[in-house]
Amino acid sequence: MIVNINNSTYEMNSKQYKAVLDTASNAVTCGIYAVEKNKVAIMLREEYKSKEELKQAVGNYTAKGFKVHWK
């Protein structure tokens, strides 16, 4: 898995990637913390003020073919 965090790119196995996702999920209260597509993940920290805005953003990423990690 290739993981982009800010302006850096890392290659990691699935166990390492899962640990990064767990850490990122703790940093977000209502938002998207990662998207992935074709074994490439992009770590985000997109916060939303409402669940409706969040669901719309998740739908936009999903429509583009991304798997979205959100809470």
Give pLDDT, residue 45.
95
pLDDT recorded at residue 32: 98
Residues with pLDDT less than 70, the chain: none
Cβ within 8 Å of residue 69, ≥6 positions away: 21, 24, 25, 32, 33, 34, 35, 36
What's residue 33's pLDDT?
98
Q: Model-level pTM?
A: 0.92
Residue 53 has what pLDDT? 97
Q: What is the pLDDT of residue 7?
A: 94
Residue 9 has a pLDDT of 98
- Taking phi over 0 as left and psi of -120 to 50 as alpha, with beta for the rest, 26 belongs to alpha
